[in-house]
């Protein structure tokens, strides 16, 4: 299992669109279709994608189900979002 650490994209209202590899953050709740968006995550190869509730669930301990599969490369693993809470 890979632990993804939280990297805050919206510190003090500013938007930083760069997530380092193996990191995640909550999505801005003001965005389009935000109820379906659970988080943004970046794979170990640096590709960032949305984690959506139509495909994934996130347990109370931050474990993502089903496993994380990057749509841009071959990165595929079980992931835990460290610090996740709803």
Whole-number Å distance between alpha carbons of 24 and 82:
9
Provide the strand spans (E) within 1-86: 2-6, 23-25, 37-42, 48-52, 57-58, 64-65, 68-69, 76-77, 79-81
- Tens-of-pLDDT digits for all 86 residues of the chain? 999 999 987 665 555 567 999 999 987 665 555 568 889 999 999 999 989 999 999 999 999 999 999 999 999 999 999 999 86
Domain carrying residue 62: 2-81
Residue 31 lies in a domain: yes
Q: pTM of the entire structure?
A: 0.84
Residue 38 lies in a domain: yes
Residue 73 lies in a domain: yes
Residue 86 lies in a domain: no
pLDDT score, position 32: 56
- Number of separate domains in the chain: 1
pLDDT score, position 16: 59
Cis-peptide into 66, omega within 30 deg: yes
């Amino acid at each position: 299992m890979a632990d993804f650490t939280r990297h805050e994209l919206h510190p003090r209202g500013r938007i930083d669109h760069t997530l380092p590899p193996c990191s995640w953050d909550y999505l801005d709740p003001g965005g389009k279709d935000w109820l379906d968006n659970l988080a943004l995550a970046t794979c170990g190869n640096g590709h960032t994608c949305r984690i959506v509730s139509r495909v994934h669930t996130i347990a109370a301990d931050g474990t993502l189900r089903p496993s994380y599969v990057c749509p841009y490369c071959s990165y595929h693993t079980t992931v835990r979002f460290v610090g996740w809470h709803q």
